[in-house]
Amino acid sequence: MAAKKKSGKEIYFLVCKETKMQNYTVVLNKTIKGKVFKKYCPKLQRHTEHTAKKV
């Protein structure tokens, strides 16, 4: 039987910095810790900064 390969990816929520809402679910590398994403926030109806939060 073949050995299982460990994946370097995990599932994260992208959380809006202003409203604290979880707007997106993404699969990212484990090495992404403090990266900031510019995504659309439906509550504010504009692009805001989002951070990755582990599931």
Edge-to-edge strands of the sheet including 9-16? Answer: 22-29, 9-16, 46-54, 36-41
Mean pLDDT of all residues in the chain? 88
Which tokens belong to 15?
A: 């959380």
**Interval 28-50: pLDDT, tens:** 888 877 789 999 999 999 999 99
In a domain, 3, yes or no: no
Range of the domain at 48: 9-54
CATH number assigned to the domain comprising residue 45: 2.20.28.120
In a domain, 35, yes or no: yes
In a domain, 31, yes or no: yes
**Which residue in this structure is represented by tokens 């995990």?**
10
Q: How many domains does the chain have?
A: 1
Give the pTM. 0.77
In a domain, 29, yes or no: yes
What is the rounded distance in angstroms from the CA atom of residue 23 to the CA atom of residue 1?
40
In a domain, 39, yes or no: yes
What is the rounded distance in angstroms from the CA atom of residue 49 to the CA atom of residue 46?
10
In a domain, 44, yes or no: yes
